[in-house]
Amino acid sequence: MALELYRKKRNFSKTSEPSGEASSKPSGKQPIFIIQKHAASRLHFDFRLEMDGVLKSWAVPKGPSMDSAVKRLAILVEDHPLGYASFEGTIPQGEYGGGTVMLWDQGTFAFNEKDDFESGLLEFKLFGERLHGSFALIQKKGDRKTWWLVKKTDEYAQKNSDTTLEFMTSVVSGKKMEEIE
């Protein structure tokens, strides 16, 4: 049920993305997060947090920022299967999300409080290979899909930095976008 929309949008005879089922159990001791760089019709970053057997997903047009003064628009999209956490490759043109997908960061995370997606405020620490420290996802009032991804002030925050330009390769394969393609 949870992934019905995910499956409906895709033709698995054409895309190599995982078809996937929602998982009845967590992937491990700590929930996982991933960030994928996705050169679809518009380049964006997909931010995904493991919650309730799926990857809750947001498309972040400008990608994450380590500057706590910067709010990054994050559009809630359909839940993805946990298997998506290892997907890197190229979705054929003409298919949903057609374009190259790079695994840009991966790791585990921990909610500061018990997670409560419906509250519209998620605060958590990332233990990634590239991103570390406290972040929040804040939902715009009265708008289910519009959220903001914000770095909270801590020892990992960096003023005036652009972390999306700092890391141009895959965190798993070391490849650049054009090499994955």
Sites of contact with Mn ion (CB under 5 A) = 38, 46
CB of 63 to Mn ion, least distance (A): 12
The answer for residues whose C-beta is within 8 angstroms of residue 113's C-beta and 6 or more apart is 123
CB of 150 to Mn ion, least distance (A): 20
Q: How far apart are CA 150 and CA 124, in angstroms?
A: 11
Q: What is the dihedral of CA 145, 60, 12, 41, to 10 degrees?
A: 110
Pick between residue 17 and residue 50 the one whose CB is nearest to Mn ion.
17
CB of 36 to Mn ion, least distance (A): 7
Q: Are 72 and 64 contacting, i.e. CB atoms less than 8 angstroms apart?
A: yes
DSSP letter for 98, please.
-
Pick between residue 154 and residue 181 the one whose CB is nearest to Mn ion.
181
Pick between residue 101 and residue 126 the one whose CB is nearest to Mn ion.
101
Pick between residue 44 and residue 151 the one whose CB is nearest to Mn ion.
44
Ranked by CB distance to Mn ion, the top (closest) residue is 38
CB of 44 to Mn ion, least distance (A): 6
CB of 97 to Mn ion, least distance (A): 5
Beta strands in 40-120 (DSSP E): 43-51, 54-60, 71-80, 89-91, 99-111
Q: How far apart are CA 18 and CA 48, in angstroms?
A: 15
